[in-house]
Amino acid sequence: MRTNTVIDSPYGPLTLVAQDGALAGIYMDQQRHLPPLESFGEPDPAAFGAAIDQLTRYFAGELRRFELPMTLQGTDFQRSVWELLLEIPYGETTTYGELAQRLGNPLAARAVGLANGKNPISIIVPCHRVIGSTGNLTGYGGGLAKKRRLLDFERGRDQLTAW
């Protein structure tokens, strides 16, 4: 059974989706690759206490690693990319090519980028920490401005407004 709730954040509204008690999605307003809204289930804010608490602590600068039950729904390849994203330390970045190397297929940087773009649990599964091989910001489902702000925040260069 799927449920959802919408919370405010320094990036605008975030829609949280859970499936059978595990976090299955965090979507920003006007996010690319947004699933159909009817797939989010019924509104039920009670199902998201831990996720809301940890997101609040993250945006306050008090939490660097999330500890939540999650269900990552995608292809085997997508899930392998998303699992690697969870290993990128707070405030650090890696490239699509480096992730492809870690997957054992150095020619798969573009496929890694496509999987990264379809990450259903933004912020917590930190796809914002992946950059282009030249060090430039490339692609982010929530928009490059939000990606820059998340990276700047994690590097101590931007203080997010309270929410």
Active site residues: 127
Sign of CA dihedral 13, 115, 82, 35: positive
Instruction: Write 58-61 long-range contacts (CB < 8 A, 24+).
Output: 58/123, 59/9, 59/10, 59/160, 59/163, 60/162, 61/153, 61/159
User: Whole-angstrom Cα distance, residue 25 to residue 73?
Assistant: 9
**E strands along 31-155, which residues?**
42-43, 94-95, 130-131
Report the Cα 143 to chain-centroid distance in Å: 12
Please report how many Cα atoms fall inside a 13 Å half-sphere around the Cα of residue 4, on the Cβ side: 17
Given a contact cutoff of 8 angstroms between Cβ atoms, the answer to whether 81 and 116 are in contact is yes
